[in-house]
Structure 1
Amino acid sequence: MAKSNGKTGVVVLLGCETDFVAKNEDFVKFAQSVADLALANNIKTVEELGAAQLDGASVTDKVNDQVAKIGEKITLARFERVDAESVAAYIHGNYRMGVLVGFNKETTEETGKDVAMQIAAMNPIAIDEKGVSEETIAREKEIAIEQIKAEGKPAEMAEKIATGKLAKFFKENTLLQQAFVKNGDQSVAQYLKSINADLTVTGFTRVALG
């Protein structure tokens, strides 16, 4: 369940064993109430959320009540939070995925949804290349060099070609460089600049079942 009050967004992942339960109206309402509680009480961690009081009992106890009521394993599996000048929340695929995206400036609901849908569809690993870990960069570069060597290309060419392959990796896997899903002729960064020259993403999270 993903929710935002405009400045803060939360995603609460309640794990269950079947799609039947995941789509159950009462179960969805319970997830919504937990997300609302997290927003209203400025919850910051999953442990804090589990201890928070909901209708006279802790969220953990309420989850256990759901287990007894429904008859299958229910868990408070994950909690994520994004704080920003403007935060959009998006739920995708019958409550199977929640996305939060934070912006540096106030923006429209449509823009927030567009970027959140991009994150849901394309699963970027970071906002831009500065957010990609050194370990990931080193691994991708090593894979590229091994591929180049396997193709029989000269070793002196390997570094240059690997740099090009790494640039392609960033373009495909970092949010601002990705092709915008609603208009492949522009990147997400270019789309944001078309809305406001200074608009950018400051943080995001994508939480999916399974």
Structure 2
Amino acid sequence: MAVQITMAEISKLRAMTGAGMMDCKNALTEAEGDFDKAIEIIRKKGQAVAAKRSDREASEGCVLAAANGAYAAVLALKCETDFVAKNADFIALTQSILDKAMAEKPANLDALKALVVDGRSIAELVVDRSGVTGEKMELDYFEFVEGGSTVAYIHPGNKLATIVAFAEAGVDNQVMRDVAMQVAAMNPVSLDRTSVPEKVINTELEIGREKAREEGKPENMLDKIAQGRLNKFFQESTLLEQAFIKDGKMSVADYLKANKATATSFKRVTLNQE
């Protein structure tokens, strides 16, 4: 005789797993009302969906960041469609992962995935959610900064977030937010010219020489011209040398100096190619 599944039981399983009503009903029916078996059925569905869609591109998602005193973190949980990215349960899962990261301060992305929430690793929770939505999901980015003070900025829409660390404790919140928004808007490649990767410098010098050559400049002047263009690149692309977005007459370094603050590191995570 078939087990009768009640709406209360379906609702209870949905609250436990986040799966859809029909998925919960089918799982309970298959499990003959056994909740543990039903949960396992739903989890196996998530694994099957994840395996089936492993070659799909997860280009949408949710980017969140948080700061608490000397520590700030930013991460991205990715999915396939904007529809899922805006789903309240998906955003809540991203937030719960970030909360765990803030509490445990894992060393890297793999360590974050291994952390346990409600008896399941974060990696398993992501797979479970994939089964609920039917989309590929991946925890793709995790970065953190530490300092005397830190700040986090999430751009409206949850597609872009930044974190910045400062050497001093007690830096004014508005000053920190201004710098975090500068990082979001201007996408600097590094903190200052000394921290620009050598590969990037060599590429910019080669581009500068080639442009000068195309303009018909003498060969013996190419290196000097390329160096001048590299200096312009530093001014436009390193955080401290960039013009401050709220007052183009000063650099970010000038703004920080005026407010007795020293930026030491930053991270910027975005789902857009910008």
| Interval containing the TM-score (normalised by the shorter chain) | over 0.9
- Aligned pair partner of 1:108 in 153, 172, 181: 172
State the one-letter code of the partner of 1:132. Answer: V
Deviation of 1:58 (Å)? 0.7
Q: Structure 1, unaligned stretches of length 5 or more?
A: none
Bigger RCO of structures 1 and 2 (CA < 8 A, at least 6 apart): 1
Q: Structure 2, unaligned stretches of length 5 or more?
A: 1-63
- Could you tell me which residue of structure 1 aligns to residue 75 of structure 2? 12
- Does residue 186 of the first structure (1) align with residue 247 of the second (2)? no
Deviation of 1:93 (Å)? 3.3
- Does residue 122 of the first structure (1) align with residue 186 of the second (2)? yes
When the two structures are superposed, what TM-score results if normalisation uses the length of structure 1? 0.95
- Could you tell me which residue of structure 1 aligns to residue 108 of structure 2? 45
Secondary structure at 2:73 match in 1: strand
- Does residue 154 of the first structure (1) align with residue 154 of the second (2)? no
Q: Distance in 1 between matches of 2:65 and 2:178?
A: 15
Write out the 4+ residue segments of structure 1 that deviate beyond 3 Å after TM superposition: none
Deviation of 1:74 (Å)? 1.2
Deviation of 1:186 (Å)? 0.7
Secondary structure at 1:138 match in 2: helix
- Aligned-residue Cα RMSD (Å) equals 1.1
1:178-210 CA deviation, whole Å, 9 max, x = no partner? 0111111110001111111xx221111101114
- Could you tell me which residue of structure 1 aligns to residue 48 of structure 2? none
- Could you tell me which residue of structure 1 aligns to residue 234 of structure 2? 170
Q: Percent identity?
A: 45
- Aligned pair partner of 1:70 in 133, 139, 146: 133
- Could you tell me which residue of structure 2 aligns to residue 84 of structure 1? 147
- Could you tell me which residue of structure 2 aligns to residue 142 of structure 1? 206
State the one-letter code of the partner of 1:200. Answer: T
Query: What is the aligned length?
Result: 208
State the one-letter code of the partner of 1:101. Answer: V
- Does residue 98 of the first structure (1) align with residue 161 of the second (2)? yes
- Could you tell me which residue of structure 2 aligns to residue 35 of structure 1? 98
- Could you tell me which residue of structure 1 aligns to residue 270 of structure 2? 208
Deviation of 1:75 (Å)? 0.8
1:146-182 CA deviation, whole Å, 9 max, x = no partner? 1111111112222222221111000000000001111
